[in-house]
Amino acid sequence: MIKVDETFIETTLLFKKQYNLKKLLSNLGNPQNNIKVINVVGTNGKGSTSKYIYDGLRSKFKNIGLFISPAFLYQNERIQLNGNYINDEDLKKLYNDNKKIIKEYELTFFEIWMFLAVLYFNKFDIDYAVIEAGIGGRLDCTNLFENQVCVCLTSIGYDHTELLGNNIESIIEHKVGIIKPGRTLFVSSDNKKYKKIIKEKVNEKVVFAKKVKNKINYQRSNIGLAKKVLKWLDVKYNNYIAPIGRYTYLNETPKFIIDGCHNIDGVKTVIKQIKKLNNPIVIYASSKEKDYFQILKVLKKNIKNLYITDFEHPKSWIIPKDLKSDYNYIGDWKIFLEKNIYNNIVVCGSLYFIPQVYEWYRSK
């Protein structure tokens, strides 16, 4: 397996004014339209909801694909089929065989992965593919499947506002812009407060899901959304297991929990869950492009034993000197965790940081 910190896709290009994947696929005869797709968009909960639907479909159908991002431990995670990651041999061959055309069309990092997924899924007689959006919906490179079955809208909040706008109306418009004519939009119960706005932005049928019982508060809406879609597809399924890094218990007594809450809404939902614990140590680290000042303000107000740190990664937010004393800065989070391993601990923040903590803990 190709680890997430290894160099595999040879580009640093993330955003462009003009994206070319749709043009490339059109010139190849639109192979993406051979695949029946369930698009998943939203701010928080996309990864969990996508996995729940994927697992549910696998209980009934022979060939089910999944496309997600970001990867947690291995880059292969982005493209999955029938419960397995794409293997190294297939992944490398797909990429190497198409390097020339990828370069010719100047595909971005995310477009390349979407392109490889389309090519891979076309090798199989896919019943359905669950496709998680990267950013937004209307302008996202996952908005290219005409054979769309339905769209799932998970919890809406403020993230990537530099691209989606800094108001809820604009963000929702971007997200739901992925829906094709005549398709059904399934909406998380978290978005009931935006019901009027959503219905104004969508001309198609809109179905709101209900929450279900679950020990993790913020997964109640995600499971409820997945359950609604699966029932609509005549799939009976109850074994909902969240992806690693979504309020994952690595240890029960004492509690050691990791969660990739990387935006303000995600942090607020995790705080509600943390309050059920007995005064845990909470460690937070952020990516440099996130709204860490607002997040820290909310964390400090609600968490007694709060610590902050940075980590080895190009996207890590490096804590400035003037904040280190204000927020109990940890210079080496590994040493700190070893010294406090017999306390209840919650590590949260960047999805680039959480996998490092997971691997460290697993090695111990």
- DSSP output for 240-281: --PPTTSSEEEETTTTEEEE---SHHHHHHHHHHHTTSSS-E
Percent of all residues in the chain with a pLDDT value above 70, rounded to a whole number:
96
Q: What pLDDT score was predicted for residue 333?
A: 97
- pLDDT tens-place string over residues 144-180: 999 999 999 999 876 554 556 567 888 888 889 899 9
| Spatial contact of 141 and 69, defined as CB atoms under 8 Å apart | no
- pLDDT tens-place string over residues 48-87: 999 999 999 999 999 999 999 889 999 999 999 999 999 9
Domain at 21-232, CATH homologous superfamily: Mur-like, catalytic domain (3.40.1190.10)
What rounded mean pLDDT belongs to the chain? 91
Q: Where in the chain is the domain with CATH 3.40.1190.10?
A: 21-232
Tell me: pLDDT of 18 over 80: no
The one-letter amino acid code at 102 reads: I
Q: Where in the chain is the domain with CATH 3.90.190.20?
A: 248-363
Least confident of 31-35, 164-168, 271-275, 281-285: 164-168
- pLDDT tens-place string over residues 202-229: 889 999 999 998 888 889 999 999 999 9
Distance CA 250, CA 143 (A): 36
Q: What pLDDT score was predicted for residue 15?
A: 66
Q: What pLDDT score was predicted for residue 262?
A: 78
Which CATH number applies to 248-363?
3.90.190.20
| Spatial contact of 63 and 81, defined as CB atoms under 8 Å apart | yes
- pLDDT tens-place string over residues 318-336: 999 888 888 899 999 999 9
> Side-chain half-sphere of 170: how many Cα atoms within 13 Å?
10
Question: Which pLDDT band holds residue 13 (cuts at 50, 70, 90)?
Answer: low
Q: What pLDDT score was predicted for residue 163?
A: 57
Cross-sheet strand order for the sheet of 148-153: 84-85, 79-81, 64-67, 128-132, 37-41, 148-153, 184-187, 205-208
Question: Which pLDDT band holds residue 244 (cuts at 50, 70, 90)?
Answer: very high
Find the radius of gyration of the CA atoms of the chain: 20
